[in-house]
Chains A and B, each alone.
Chain A
Amino acid sequence: MSDATLSLPAKRSRALPRVNGSAVVMGLYILFLMLPIYWLVNMSLKTNTEITSTFTLWPRDLTFANYRTILTDPSWYMGYVNSLIYVVMNTVISISVALPAAYAFSRYRFLGDKHLFFWLLTNRMAPPAVFALPFFQLYSSVGLFDTHIAVALAHCLFNVPLAVWILEGFMRGVPKEIDETAYIDGYSFPRFFVKIFMPLIASGIGVAAFFCFMFSWVELLLSRTLTSVNAKPIAATMTRTVSASGMDWGVLAAAGVLTIVPGALVIYFVRNYIAKGFALGRV
């Protein structure tokens, strides 16, 4: 009997929920990170009246009309199509140009190789605004203005150096003896490169492609400057949607949600290698 009464307070304290400090901190951090995204999704599912007139934590009057507008109106969805076209073009060009360049930097010593390699990176240090004017004038005079390839080429200015740096880091991790063994076995260089070497650095190619995709996808200034109608990117469409009738909050929020989706999809495939990519392959 006395035993039971004595053990009672102990039992009660055990029953209290234990507070895990690190879980609280992490929870708060994630809450802060997710809040803007949640609010964007929240807004995209509301009507304009609800957005502007009341404060609601979740849509009282759930509607998919905003999404329907975007997916049916060509002036909206063509923005996505245009963006995807030049982003994919840019990624393909950047990777196919950077692969041989990175191989040369990782395998051969030549005059000024280190300087050239560093100079590549300095291209990323100039703000895009610097290049907007020369690109605009140049492309206008050669008739490339308002085409997808114009934006794709302009973005190569940032993405090729980045891809070279990332790929070079991954390639350096492959021992040179593998190249030599392949030559001894009788592989020609192109065949070795495609059959043996590229599978070895597949994760590096994936990461480099992801970074090219991402930078090209989020870049606004050059893509807006170099296009008017035919190749107008989604980001430009979004910023120009402040019309005379006021802001169309719901549609804009829906467009924002749809803009996040491609990046989230692409990052899923390279999630295990992203850290190495941020270190430019040098981990």
Chain B
Amino acid sequence: MALELIGVSKEVGARTHIAPTSLVLEKGTMNVLLGPTLSGKTSLMRLMAGLDVPTAGRIIWDGKDVTGMRVQDRKVAMVYQQFINYPSISVYDNIASPLRLQRKSKAEIDSAVRATAEMMKLTPLLQRKPLELSGGQQQRCALARALVKGAGLVLLDEPLANLDYKLREELRTEIPKIFEASGAIFVYATTEPEEALLLGGNTATLWEGRVTQFGPTPLVYRQPKDATTARVFSDPPMNFLPVTKAGARLLFGEGQNAPAGGTFAGIPDGRYLAGFRANHIEIARPGTPAGGALEFRCTLAVTEITGSETFVHLDHGGDRWVGLLPGVQDYVAGDELTIRLDPAFVYVFGEDGALVASAPYAAAA
């Protein structure tokens, strides 16, 4: 049992919402669609669900072509970012409604609803109307309705985006556990790289209606195929600077260079784009040796302190970089800082954006 998209695309008027996409989602897997707003996550999900018909391409479900099939006849479930329940009927009836439509017996429905409600911690609330619940409870109700149906394909479109931080963490750890047992294909759309890494499974990164990469989540994170994927799958976004390969060395400007060993050895000479993630930046303390790290002089533009971490926005000759430092840092805007970067954390992309050499640390892992 698998969901297969073969060259599926969606155009509305003259605008391409989804460029031709081919994906295979295996049974019992968690698949994350990761991309910024308007990257096509929801459009792709609607095609998978059958709410929209693709402009071209075919969708194969369990070996059968379901491209034009009505959504009612497909065994799918979907949860939206907004808390969508049937406001006029009780939570119990909400959860029971997909089962009633499947013409299950009363006893069967009752036991399924109660078991699901227990799992979603809704048991004391079954007789209430959805609008009498808190946001988290409403979304639990929507999740329960999606879960009780026993659908083979469960689509979750940013289900936690409208919840407050605490509830989000709580549900985020519960969702993989709850759905692991069901054996269904899960598709989970999110804008947050962190969420993709927490959920595990596979990740497809989306950018402007294109799936830029699809594979096991840690692999996509460590070895992005191109600069776009790396940008999407980094929060804060990946930092870039030009680099030149000349002979056995990588030249970063400002007299900074590093030996082109390991993954960098095979790159032909020429101009490239170097990328590195925010958490790999260190601030150089005066008097300590660089120890092979690259050093760049930057001006601090803004600091954002979250408590356990501090984001420093740096200006480097017109490029805006973001660094992630541990703890609370007392830098002030305008400070001149020297940052250090271990060349082992540097990805090298071609000028067209395709990955030329993965970072040595990632290749080793």
Residues of A within 8 A of B (CB): 175, 177-178, 180-188, 196, 199-200, 202
Instruction: Given A177-B80, A180-B51, verify A187-B72 contact (CB < 8 Å).
Output: yes
Tell whether, in the assembled complex, residue A196 and residue B86 are in contact, meaning their CB atoms are under 8 Å apart. Answer: yes
Tell whether, in the assembled complex, residue B71 and residue A184 are in contact, meaning their CB atoms are under 8 Å apart. Answer: yes
Question: What's the Cα separation between A181 and B98 when bound, in Å?
Answer: 10
Tell whether, in the assembled complex, residue B97 and residue A178 are in contact, meaning their CB atoms are under 8 Å apart. Answer: no
A176 to chain B, nearest CB (A): 10
CB neighbours of A183 from chain B (8 A): 51, 70-72
6 contacts between A and B (CB under 8 A): A177-B84, A181-B142, A182-B86, A183-B70, A196-B86, A200-B87
Question: What's the Cα separation between A199 and B131 when bound, in Å?
Answer: 14
CB neighbours of A196 from chain B (8 A): 86, 88
Tell whether, in the assembled complex, residue B71 and residue A177 are in contact, meaning their CB atoms are under 8 Å apart. Answer: no
Tell whether, in the assembled complex, residue A184 and residue B82 are in contact, meaning their CB atoms are under 8 Å apart. Answer: no
Question: What's the Cα separation between A83 and B142 when bound, in Å?
Answer: 48
Tell whether, in the assembled complex, residue A177 and residue B76 are in contact, meaning their CB atoms are under 8 Å apart. Answer: no
Tell whether, in the assembled complex, residue B78 and residue A188 are in contact, meaning their CB atoms are under 8 Å apart. Answer: no
Tell whether, in the assembled complex, residue B88 and residue A199 are in contact, meaning their CB atoms are under 8 Å apart. Answer: yes
Cβ of B145 < 8 Å from any Cβ of A? yes
**How many residues on the B side are at the interface (Cβ–Cβ under 8 A)?**
22
Residues of B within 8 A of A (CB): 49, 51, 70-72, 76-78, 80, 82, 84, 86-89, 97-98, 101-102, 142, 145, 149
Tell whether, in the assembled complex, residue A178 and residue B72 are in contact, meaning their CB atoms are under 8 Å apart. Answer: no
Chain A, Cβ-Cβ closest to B98: A185
CB neighbours of A177 from chain B (8 A): 80, 82, 84
Tell whether, in the assembled complex, residue A181 and residue B101 are in contact, meaning their CB atoms are under 8 Å apart. Answer: no
Question: What's the Cα separation between A181 and B86 when bound, in Å?
Answer: 9
Selected from A175, A180, A186, A199, the residue in CB contact (under 8 A) with B101 is A186
Chain A, Cβ-Cβ closest to B97: A185
Question: What's the Cα separation between A156 and B145 when bound, in Å?
Answer: 42
Question: What's the Cα separation between A45 and B145 when bound, in Å?
Answer: 62
Instruction: Given A175-B82, A177-B82, verify A184-B77 contact (CB < 8 Å).
Output: yes
Tell whether, in the assembled complex, residue B72 and residue A200 are in contact, meaning their CB atoms are under 8 Å apart. Answer: no
Tell whether, in the assembled complex, residue A181 and residue B88 are in contact, meaning their CB atoms are under 8 Å apart. Answer: no
Question: What's the Cα separation between A184 and B77 when bound, in Å?
Answer: 6
CB neighbours of B89 from chain A (8 A): 199
4 closest A-B pairs (Cβ-Cβ)? A199-B88, A186-B101, A185-B98, A177-B84
Selected from B70, B84, B101, the residue in CB contact (under 8 A) with A178 is B84
Chain A, Cβ-Cβ closest to B49: A184
A170 to chain B, nearest CB (A): 13
Question: What's the Cα separation between A244 and B161 when bound, in Å?
Answer: 78
Tell whether, in the assembled complex, residue A184 and residue B76 are in contact, meaning their CB atoms are under 8 Å apart. Answer: yes
CB neighbours of B49 from chain A (8 A): 184
CB neighbours of A186 from chain B (8 A): 72, 98, 101-102
CB neighbours of B82 from chain A (8 A): 175, 177
CB neighbours of A199 from chain B (8 A): 88-89
Question: What's the Cα separation between A186 and B149 when bound, in Å?
Answer: 10
CB neighbours of B51 from chain A (8 A): 180, 183-184
A48 to chain B, nearest CB (A): 54
Chain A, Cβ-Cβ closest to B80: A177
Instruction: Given A180-B51, A199-B88, verify A187-B78 contact (CB < 8 Å).
Output: no
Instruction: Given A186-B72, A186-B101, verify A181-B84 contact (CB < 8 Å).
Output: yes
9 A-B pairs besides A175-B82, A175-B84, A177-B82 with CB distance below 8 A are: A181-B78, A181-B145, A184-B78, A185-B97, A186-B72, A186-B98, A186-B102, A187-B97, A196-B86
Instruction: Given A175-B82, A180-B51, A181-B80, verify A200-B102 contact (CB < 8 Å).
Output: no
Question: What's the Cα separation between A175 and B51 when bound, in Å?
Answer: 15
Tell whether, in the assembled complex, residue B102 and residue A178 are in contact, meaning their CB atoms are under 8 Å apart. Answer: no
Question: What's the Cα separation between A183 and B84 when bound, in Å?
Answer: 13
Chain B, Cβ-Cβ closest to A198: B88
Question: What's the Cα separation between A231 and B61 when bound, in Å?
Answer: 62
